[in-house]
Structure 1
Amino acid sequence: MLTRHSYETTKYRKPIDWQTSIILYRSSFIFIIHLILIGINIIGWSSYGINHVLIFELDPRSHITHEEILEGASLLSLIWIISFIIFIVCEYHRLESHWQPMIFMFSIIFLLFNPLNIMHRSARYWFCKELFRIFSAPFHTVTFADFWLADQLTSLDIIFYDFEYLICYFAFDAQWIKNQSNRFYSNLTDEQTILYNGPICHGNY
């Protein structure tokens, strides 16, 4: 009886869209893994006597250590696992699951650009400053720190593609605008619908 009840219950449940789930959480997972690898790199630099604080022009009094980087990456990993599990459970039980990746991504963005003096503000300020220098590189002298961080971002190009997918997913595929989008699409011709959707939002990644 229990087996039959479980089969009947599972039979009518919504199948989990694993492809969408992986794309929604892949970029944040890669970012966390990259943080862990940076912490390991700092351990290697310190063991071989490489003064990375001087090379990257960091403040010797307030620069972030490898322990703090690994601690932050571990905390983000825990939050990522909890968010992903909640997302899968909500998908399995036909609940609104799109809130989970959005809350997680906005939490990371908030922690990065938070102006309060918490969560290593000096390190976050250095990162934001280097981002600005990377995008404004043609107008000033490029330092080693600029080149190094730009090279890291080049290696993480898939994150930018996934971020584009996140915007399109929350704008068009999330359930909170389902009714509005249906009314909007009903007033469009087939050609207008194709042009409106475009190959970007519904491309294969």
Structure 2
Amino acid sequence: MKLLRPIFLAVVLFGAGTLVFSSLPLHYQNAIRDWYARLGTPTYAESPDHFSARDQAAVISENQARGHKLKCYGNLGPAERVTAQNDYLCSAHISKAYDNIPARLVTFFFTKNKLSNVRIEFADGSFDQLQDYLTRKLENYPRLDQMPGARFGTDAFGKKLVVWRVQNGLLTAQAEATPGQNPIILWSGYQ
């Protein structure tokens, strides 16, 4: 009898939680699922200035060996690509990146079995930490957006972009924070 009480209580609480969760607006449900998926994930540590056009199988294997649970697929739709040439992607939830900066997701884009783009999405409110890290980490690389006549446009929210030429491509980030939006960095390999 004593054993049945905790089991009954657990079932009631689980049922109530499920009922409350399913009545939440969809964006809150997605935020909760996203938070749960990031629990216990390893910190993403590959330096943004060391990305290169490595073989797809090697990138997948290296990240799985680091403990990242990758979700990979091809047959990409237009909204799932960085460039029209991307034909495969792998993504993994992450909780932190680099200097313990709160992060959400890393996505690797491939073109003809070679890494062509890497997109890292950080958590809302981590813009200042990310900018501090990028400023220190990339201080020896040229800032292309500061070159005379340079025009790299803006992000989807009208904020200017910061662009560095790194060893094997370009690294792009927002120049200023957009309240309520997650900061993103994008590495694009040379074509």
Q: TM-score, normalization: structure 1?
A: 0.27
Q: What TM-score do you get using the length of structure 2 for normalisation?
A: 0.28
Bigger strand share: 2
Greater C-alpha radius of gyration: 1
Higher helix share: 1
